[in-house]
């Protein structure tokens, strides 16, 4: 695929890292102008972002101000000389953006999750020369993400970048969205020259994690960052917990350590490093999974105590061993290896449950003595 580099998108796009910043949502003309003026003054922002049609998980929440904000964004362009980007989810949105001279559009995670919607957008983009940012889909499905890039490319668009915004977790995790760094790394391997920009705001869900995620993205030589910035984050109408205020954004830009990607980054050494980075990411997820398994074990310990069931139940353990080794075999893993892993995990689980049982028992004895 002949993807254009970010540098060639517009004049003045040759800095590294490429920075997209702005509020989650455009809320009022004054809010947009204030934030944009601040961002312009930093001298480090390539693109001003603002959502005007907000895809919300639950109905009844703020769903954006709509087309009237396109005029505010035109003021950002003409009065501040900043280029602007808006999320589009349908051909109608795209048409409104084109009519108002929006510089770049982005396709959000919810839209990318649906190939019908991406196809419709791709048809609407045929013959239109506007850069498109493509966020990852909600689920960690790399083929779906790659497919969206291919669909937009097939419309003739060459100025394309992917945006890594993390993946919906199936249960509560430290971050709002799981980074699963191995996926954007893999996407870069699959589509050579595709710029991948990280959106640490949606990965974090909380402003205090944005710095670490941004640094991680730069350490992985990602092409840039898309960061939510708001003048008064706590008053923001959407994503208030994750937006940075002006001081936080300034300090972020001042403290990030930037390692410029070199031409070497496409060579052998870099491939080794990329594979190591993928392994690192998977190891952390392994540990997180083991931790959630142990949390359930704890709950089971309490349940067993209340119902007077012994901690170890041999039949259940044999069943676990059998099913897990069988599943491992399907994935080409040695049964004896799976057996060793499961035995270790099971021993730890028994240890945790036994100590819970002992604690509960001591409390109960203590309590009955006092009666």
Cα–Cα dist 229/45, whole Å: 12
Closest-approach residue to Mn ion (CB): 24
Site for ligand PEP in 52-71 (CB under 6 A): 55
Spatial contact of 53 and 63, defined as CB atoms under 8 Å apart = yes
Q: Does 176 bind ligand PEP (CB under 6 A)?
A: no
Which residue lies nearer to ligand PEP by CB, 55 or 156? 55
Closer by beta carbon to ligand PEP, 108 or else 179 = 108
From 8-16, 36-44, 106-114, 344-352, give the range in contact with ligand PEP by CB under 6 A.
106-114
Smallest distance from Mn ion to CB 201, Å = 7
Contact partners, residue 342, CB within 8 Å, separation at least 6: 320, 321, 324, 325
Q: Which of 76, 109, 162, 217 binds ligand PEP (CB under 6 A)?
A: 109
Could you give the angle at which helices 142-154 and 182-190 cross, rounded to 10 degrees?
40
Residue 210 makes CB contacts below 8 A (sequence gap 6+) with: 200, 201, 204, 227, 242, 244, 248, 252
Dist. CA 112–CA 365, nearest whole Å: 57
Q: Which stretch binds Mn ion (CB under 5 A): 22-30, 73-81, 126-134, 306-314?
A: 22-30
DSSP 258-271: -----GGGGSHHHH
d(CA 124, CA 115) in angstroms, rounded, equals 14
Site string for ligand PEP, 194-233 (x = CB under 6 A): --------x-------------------------------
| CA 21 to each of CA 94, 137, 241, 250, 283: distance values in angstroms, whole numbers, following the listed order | 20, 21, 16, 12, 31
Q: What are phi and psi of 183, to 5 degrees?
A: -75, -50
Q: Phi, psi (5° rounding) for residue 83?
A: -80, 155
Q: Which stretch binds ligand PEP (CB under 6 A): 32-40, 60-68, 102-110, 182-190?
A: 102-110
Establish if 39 lies at the interface with Mn ion (CB under 5 A): no
Question: Is residue 22 a contact point for ligand PEP (CB under 6 A)?
Answer: no
Work out what residue 17 binds among ligand PEP, Mn ion, none; the CB cut-off runs from 5 to 8 Å by kind. none
What string marks each residue from 214 to 243 as x (binds Mn ion by CB under 5 A) or -?
A: -------------------------x----
23, 233 contact by CB (below 8 A)? no
108 binds ligand PEP (CB under 6 A): yes
Contacting positions for ligand PEP (CB under 6 A): 24, 51, 55, 108-110, 135, 165, 202
Contacting positions for Mn ion (CB under 5 A): 24, 239
């Amino acid at each position: 695929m002949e993807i254009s580099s970010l540098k060639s998108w517009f004049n003045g796009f040759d800095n590294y890292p490429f920075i997209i910043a702005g509020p989650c949502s455009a809320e009022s003309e004054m809010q947009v102008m204030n934030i944009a003026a601040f961002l312009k003054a930093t001298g480090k922002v390539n693109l001003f972002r603002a959502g005007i049609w907000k895809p919300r998980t639950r109905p009844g929440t703020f769903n954006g101000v709509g087309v009237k904000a396109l005029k505010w964004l035109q003021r950002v362009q003409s009065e501040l000389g900043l280029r602007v980007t808006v999320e589009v989810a349908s051909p109608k949105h795209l048409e409104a953006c084109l009519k108002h001279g929006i510089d770049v559009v982005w396709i959000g995670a919810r839209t990318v999750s649906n190939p019908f919607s991406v196809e419709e957008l791709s048809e609407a983009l045929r013959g239109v020369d506007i850069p498109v940012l493509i966020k990852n889909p909600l689920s960690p499905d790399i083929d779906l993400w790659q497919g969206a890039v291919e669909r937009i490319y097939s419309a003739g668009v060459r100025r394309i970048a992917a945006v890594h915004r993390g993946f919906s977790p199936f249960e509560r995790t430290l971050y709002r969205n799981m980074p699963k760094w191995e996926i954007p790394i893999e996407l870069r391997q699959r589509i050579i020259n595709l710029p991948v920009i990280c959106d640490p705001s949606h990965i974090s869900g909380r402003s205090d994690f944005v710095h670490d995620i941004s640094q991680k993205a730069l350490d992985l030589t990602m092409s840039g960052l898309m960061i939510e910035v708001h003048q008064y984050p706590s008053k923001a109408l959407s994503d208030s917990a994750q937006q940075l205020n002006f001081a936080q954004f300034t300090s972020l830009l001042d403290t990030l350590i930037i390692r410029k990607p070199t031409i070497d980054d496409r060579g052998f050494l870099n491939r080794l490093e990329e594979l190591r980075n993928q392994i690192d990411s998977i190891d952390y997820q392994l540990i997180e999974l083991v931790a959630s398994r142990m949390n359930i074990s704890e709950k089971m310990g309490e349940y067993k105590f209340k119902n007077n069931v012994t901690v170890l139940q041999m039949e259940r353990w044999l069943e676990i061993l059998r099913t897990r080794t069988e599943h491992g075999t399907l994935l080409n893993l040695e049964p004896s290896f799976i057996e060793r892993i499961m035995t270790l995990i099971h021993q730890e689980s028994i240890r945790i449950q036994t100590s819970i049982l002992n604690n509960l028992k001591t409390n109960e004895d203590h309590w009955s003595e006092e009666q």
